[in-house]
Amino acid sequence: MALPSYTCGPQGKPLLAMTIGEAFARTVERFPEHEALVVRHQGVRLSWAQLAEAVDRCARGLLALGLEQGDRLGIWAPNCAEWCIVQFATARIGVILVNINPAYRLSELEYALKQAGCRWLVCADAFKTSDYHAMLAELLPELAGSEPGALHSQALPELRGVVSLGQTPAPGMLGWQAVQALAGQVDQETLEVRSALLQFDEPINIQYTSGTTGFPKGATLSHYNILNNGYMVGESLGLTERDRLVIPVPLYHCFGMVMGNLGCLTHGSTMIYPSAAFEPRAALQAVADERATALYGVPTMFIAMLDEPARRELDLSSLRTGIMAGSICPIEVMKRVIAELNMREVQIAYGMTETSPVSTQTGPDDDLERRVTSVGRTQPHLESKIIDTQGRVLPRGEIGELCTRGYSVMLGYWNNPEATREAIDGARWMHTGDLAVMDDAGYIRIVGRNKDMIIRGGENIYPREIEEFLYTHPCISDVQVIGVPDGKYGEEIVAWVKVHPGEQCDPQALREFCDGKIAHFKIPRHFRFVDDFPMTISGKVQKFRMREISMAELGLYGGEGAD
């Protein structure tokens, strides 16, 4: 009789029963003089003791603004030292940090601030093509005439003020330095009293999921959720106080602030931010200059770093490990990362914002085959199961929906009980919406999203399988496969293709490459050659946007249409 598709992670290492502030104090006490934070684009270098001083000063400034435990404070900024300081300062005083995507435009910003009921917002002055000050002036016309902290906005009635990280705050805003100066109004004892009242299972972070339909939902996470997830990820990587981690992924996302910042915090490792937003050259230069031992990224970031012309000139020999996550990791890319970036111990992690985020991970001793064909096994203190459409656990080897249960599952969606009930069932299983299969050893392979599966002429087709095959073509740098409606077959296959710099390819050559090697019904009908894919700022490919674009180009039901 086949084993059921259920596993429980190891229980040997106990979970941390403490708040983020308590864990921070413990690390500062153990490694006060070790380098904690390096922000290369700002010229910032802080030891753990210096970072603690900056965090406490910020926390006292926030208390002076009148922020109470459980209040929400939004942060709308790219990667910077202040982001890290605010993350730890809010955790010290029990203020719930609301991560706002730096790419959000006005309506998205308004929705997140209103839905979370933010009392204060910390923002950059600008980022890329976004003028944050101008956008806020449009959203909050009352701001310019308000005293800092006394805002009464029609659009956002709960918002009391805005803190600008820019050199010149707009009228009505407080500057970053002004908030630090307010710290003098609150003594250290008051801060310690507030911190001591906090409980580790209270909410401390809201992260908005980038839903493909409807409005984003605010995954509400506790100290216990995210502190332990960062800790367990770091344990798997073997992080210590001697490790130096380059974090080119955005801090507003779990990958940056949990796996990055909290993974380093719980092990005394150094956090290194190479740039405000991902730049392949800056990330590689940071590895070389800082003698980094670990590097994070999503597959598209690693592809860009591998294709970076300057890579061969840089000494990357200090690297030993890191994580590739955020979306399905192509096998060929993983092989190149190990061979060409010296990341011999690189691991794959899988999860979602609602699970803090990591629920499965490959291990340091897993062979190459496991690391390139699976997302590993269930993380410590968590459970995984794979179910059919009726909710029954499937035998191992069969494809179904992956569910996760344990300490990492969010408290719920902020102020949205209906969506919470849809995602988390009565037994506290988080339904991921991902299609997966578990082998006899408990390794899990993701085959796609429920909604991404293509049904062509009655055949179930998993885009991942076609993508992995096309990656083996020597000209292809990256590829994404989607389905579009078709009058004859129900759906047809479209492959969006990026080629390596200097290479050329055409649809007929790719069809000939596929012919005889994969089933005829899996060969894409349409190929679209692109320089970039539609992506979120965290590096996740937006297949729903690709589908919309392809359908428009093919005349919606595109039975005919250009290659």
Q: Cα separations (Å) of 179 from 64, 85, 86, 264? A: 8, 13, 11, 27
Checking if the pLDDT of 558 tops 50, the result is no
Encoded tokens for 155: 């659009």
The pLDDT of residue 556 is: 60
Looking at residues 77-103, what average pLDDT do you find? 97
Q: Is residue 563 part of a domain?
A: no
Print the domain residue range for 131.
20-31+38-199
The CA distance from 139 to 149, in Å, is 17
- Domain ends where: 395, 415, 449? 449
- 382-436 residue pLDDT tens: 999 999 989 999 999 999 999 999 999 999 999 999 999 999 999 999 999 899 9
φ, ψ dihedrals at 234, nearest 5°: -65, -35
Q: Is residue 205 part of a domain?
A: no
Checking if the pLDDT of 64 tops 80, the result is yes
Q: Is residue 80 part of a domain?
A: yes
Q: Is residue 558 part of a domain?
A: no
Bridge partner residues of 401 (DSSP): 387, 435
| 436/487 same-domain check | no
Checking if the pLDDT of 1 tops 90, the result is no
- Identify the band that residue 560 occupies on the pLDDT scale cut at 50, 70 and 90: very low
Contact 513, 464 (CB under 8 A): no
| Lowest pLDDT segment from 23-32, 52-61, 542-551 | 542-551
| 248/166 same-domain check | no
| 191/134 same-domain check | yes
| 548/409 same-domain check | no
Rounded to two decimals, what is the model's pTM?
A: 0.86
The CA distance from 125 to 110, in Å, is 17
17 HSE (CA, 13 A, CB side): 2
Quick one: DSSP state of residue 539? Answer: S
User: Tokens 């990667």 label which residue?
Assistant: 79
| 247/182 same-domain check | no
- Identify the band that residue 555 occupies on the pLDDT scale cut at 50, 70 and 90: confident
| 157/240 same-domain check | no
User: Tokens 């000139």 label which residue?
Assistant: 313
The pLDDT of residue 462 is: 78
- Domain ends where: 381, 416, 449? 449
| 334/479 same-domain check | no
Checking if the pLDDT of 531 tops 50, the result is yes
Checking if the pLDDT of 210 tops 90, the result is no
Where are the alpha helices (H) located in 239-351, listed in sequence order?
254, 263-265, 280-290, 299-306, 331-340
Return the ∠ at Cα 363 (arms to 359 and 369), rounded to 5°.
105
| Lowest pLDDT segment from 141-150, 153-162, 461-470, 545-554 | 461-470
Q: Is residue 180 part of a domain?
A: yes
- 127-146 residue pLDDT tens: 988 999 999 999 999 999 99
The pLDDT of residue 458 is: 67
- 266-276 residue pLDDT tens: 999 999 999 99
- 312-347 residue pLDDT tens: 999 999 999 999 987 667 788 888 999 999 999 999
Mean pLDDT of the chain: 93
- Identify the band that residue 561 occupies on the pLDDT scale cut at 50, 70 and 90: very low
Between residues 48 and 542, the one the model is more confident about: 48
Encoded tokens for 430: 């988080």
The pLDDT of residue 444 is: 97
Checking if the pLDDT of 480 tops 80, the result is yes
| 388/492 same-domain check | no
Q: Is residue 207 part of a domain?
A: no
Q: Which residues contact 70 (CB under 8 A, 6 or more apart)?
A: 94, 95, 96, 202, 203
Quick one: DSSP state of residue 430? Answer: E
Amino acid at the residue 79: N
| 42/73 same-domain check | yes
Looking at residues 42-71, what average pLDDT do you find? 98
Domains in the chain, number: 3
Percent with pLDDT over 70 in the chain: 97
The CATH number of the domain holding residue 133 is 3.40.50.980
Percent with pLDDT over 90 in the chain: 81
| 290/408 same-domain check | yes
- Identify the band that residue 521 occupies on the pLDDT scale cut at 50, 70 and 90: confident
| 413/530 same-domain check | no
- Identify the band that residue 487 occupies on the pLDDT scale cut at 50, 70 and 90: confident
Q: Is residue 262 part of a domain?
A: no
The CATH number of the domain holding residue 496 is 3.30.300.30
Q: Is residue 366 part of a domain?
A: yes
| 363/296 same-domain check | yes
Checking if the pLDDT of 214 tops 70, the result is no
Strands 347-351 vs 321-324: parallel, antiparallel or unpaired? parallel
The CATH number of the domain holding residue 374 is 3.40.50.12780
The pLDDT of residue 18 is: 98
The pLDDT of residue 129 is: 87
The CA distance from 328 to 443, in Å, is 15
- Domain ends where: 399, 427, 449? 449
Helix, strand, or coil here: 109?
Answer: helix
Checking if the pLDDT of 563 tops 50, the result is no
